[in-house]
Amino acid sequence: MTVALVDDHPVMRAGLRALLSRVDGISVVAEASTEPGSLAEALLNEPDVLIVDGPVAEVVRSAPGAAVLVFTTSEDDESVFNAMRAGARGYLLKGAARDDLIRAIRGVAAGEVIFGARIAHRLTGLMTRRVTPFPTLTTREREILELIARGLDNIAIARALFLAPKTVRNNICAIFAKLGVVDRAEAIARARAAGIS
């Protein structure tokens, strides 16, 4: 398995190269900084795995066939989500145990999605929190959508929420735009699919 190291710190690249040179089946074929010219040169060898500390989106665009493992000190949610959205297959924090790094390299090369223990723990916490359906809706729009899903017409919604019928109509237009629906039936279907009824 071939690996390229993309990191702006030469000392870190040298340390990784030294560590990985002692691992059977893994060969470091290139090193690069995140500078475009340096990156392009490293990718000429078409490595199987790119270990990256830097702009993931640019690396993924430059080497769409390689598995990208982010190896960094940044552990904030935004950095993790941005890296995964950009196409990284793994996210590991520097300071991880040697065996964890090797397991992550082999895992992403095999098509797995790998997270270090601290990152996995935080992601699990985020995923188990209650997610509010349609987060772009205001509280009032969410109330109106719930009443639409129950089958109430505009007049009944206005009475239930002590609103003017025109206010209800305006809110419904905003709801339809935010949900990307064209009529009440479609809005009801989306609401019920999200557990609102």
Q: pLDDT by residue (tens digit) across 52-68?
A: 998 888 888 888 888 99
46: alpha, beta or left, given left = phi > 0 and alpha = psi -120 to 50? left
The confidence score (pLDDT) of residue 95 equals 87
Rounded to 5 degrees, what are φ and ψ at 187? -65, -40
Structure tokens at 106: 């082999």
155/133 Cα distance (integer angstroms)? 25
- pLDDT at residue 44 is higher than 90: no
Q: What is the CA radius of gyration of the chain?
A: 24
Which residues are within 8 A (CB) of 192 and not within 5 positions of it... i.e. 6 or more apart? 149
92/117 Cα distance (integer angstroms)? 8
Displacement of CA 1 from its chain's centroid (Å): 26
pLDDT band at 129 (very low <50, low <70, confident <90, very high): low
pLDDT band at 131 (very low <50, low <70, confident <90, very high): low
Which residues are within 8 A (CB) of 72 and not within 5 positions of it... i.e. 6 or more apart? 52, 53, 79, 91, 92, 93, 94
Q: What is the pTM of this model?
A: 0.63
| Strand stretches in the chain, DSSP E | 2-7, 27-32, 49-53, 67-72, 90-93, 114-115
Identify residue 124 by its one-letter amino acid code. T
62/59 Cα distance (integer angstroms)? 5
Average pLDDT over residues 149-155: 93
Average pLDDT over residues 69-81: 88
Q: Say which CATH class 139-193 falls into.
A: mainly alpha
pLDDT band at 145 (very low <50, low <70, confident <90, very high): very high
Question: Domain segments of the chain: what residues?
Answer: 2-128, 139-193
What percent of the chain shows pLDDT beyond 70?
95
Of the two residues 154 and 132, the one the predictor is more confident about is 154
Q: Say which CATH class 2-128 falls into.
A: alpha beta
78/115 Cα distance (integer angstroms)? 15
